[in-house]
A = this chain, B = another copy of it.
Amino acid sequence: MRPGTDALIDRALAEDAGLGDLTSEAIFAPDHSSRGQIVAKQELVICGLAVATRVFQRVDPGISVKANLADGAAARKGQVVLQLAGPTVALLTAERTALNFLQRLSGIATLSRQFAAAAARAGTGVRIADTRKTTPGWRALEKYAVRCGGCANHRLSLGEHVLIKDNHIAAAGSLGAAVRLARHAAPHTARIEVEVTTLQQVRESLIAGAEVILLDNMTPARIARAVQLIDARALVEVSGEVRLDNLADYALPGVDVISVGALTHSAPAVDLSMRLTPARGQR
């Protein structure tokens, strides 16, 4: 689990269970214990098992947790992904928070797996990358889920990589000047990327020594022209309204990366639930 996740888990538990679980505390004896199973209610790619484990153990370190799968594995409908045992009130107190983490992260991993498969079908070696359009507070988790689904990460924050856009070019005076300024400021371990919308900008990017050229909102035909121009002198990234159903149109030979904001900002949750059975000898 990424360092820094604990703070989000604590916030999540406080908002759902900061006042306890009124119903369960009213009904279960404090020493009532149960076994629980987190079950996939649909076919999905699981992600977030360490986070869910931690949720249960933050509520009660005495809950034992055993994962049947590893993050990134496919689960069939009905498959048990996590096995739990411990005090019943604690299991029920943690249940929804744990599921809320799992359903979102697995939702992203599942959608990413679909995009990765579509890219593989294209057969051009293109990689699908995420964007910075993540849920605030969830950057590290969502970028991790994308990787579990088989896609790639684009830059993880504003702070380590360069992406030069229109405003930067205007302020620098020219695309070349912007690249020079960014090259000077960037760690030597970072490549310089420029976002372009015209073929003229593609040419200027090559002259300026850009290492990645992002073709933004271009038609496939235009992209093909740009790829020709670039001629492997820079990596080619494509972004715009790329969806599962039109990905093949954009995955042209020579396109290295297609970035898709929807991987993180619009992945629907997948369906998981917890089954609870009293421990042996309890009602």
**Is the pair B104, A167 in contact by a Cβ cutoff of 8 Å?**
no
Given A3-B13, A3-B59: A157 touches B18 (CB 8 Å cut-off): yes
- Chain A, residues 8-23, CB within 8 Å of chain B (1/0): the string is 1111111111111111
Nearest CB in chain B to that of A189: its residue: B161
- Chain A, residues 129-161, CB within 8 Å of chain B (1/0): the string is 100111111111001100100001111111111
A88 partner residues in chain B, CB cutoff 8 A: 167, 171
**Is the pair B104, A135 in contact by a Cβ cutoff of 8 Å?**
yes
Please measure, in the bound complex, the distance between the C-alpha atom of A143 and the C-alpha atom of B20, giving whole angstroms.
10
Interface residues of A in 143-197 (CB under 8 A from B): 143-144, 147, 152-165, 167-168, 170-173, 178, 181-182, 184-191, 193
**Is the pair A265, B27 in contact by a Cβ cutoff of 8 Å?**
no
> Which stretch of A92-100, A200-208, A225-233, A245-253 is in the interface?
A92-100
A190 partner residues in chain B, CB cutoff 8 A: 22, 161, 189-191
Given A160-B157, A178-B27: A101 touches B136 (CB 8 Å cut-off): yes
Interface residues of A in 226-283 (CB under 8 A from B): 235, 237, 256-257, 261-262, 265-266, 268-269, 276, 278, 283
Please measure, in the bound complex, the distance between the C-alpha atom of A135 and the C-alpha atom of B107, giving whole angstroms.
12
**Is the pair A137, B137 in contact by a Cβ cutoff of 8 Å?**
yes
Nearest CB in chain B to that of A153: its residue: B187
Nearest CB in chain B to that of A185: its residue: B26
Given contacts A2-B19, A27-B182, A153-B187, 17 further A-B contacts (CB under 8 A): A3-B58, A4-B13, A12-B137, A12-B139, A17-B157, A23-B162, A23-B164, A100-B133, A129-B188, A135-B138, A137-B137, A156-B187, A157-B160, A161-B187, A188-B237, A190-B190, A265-B268
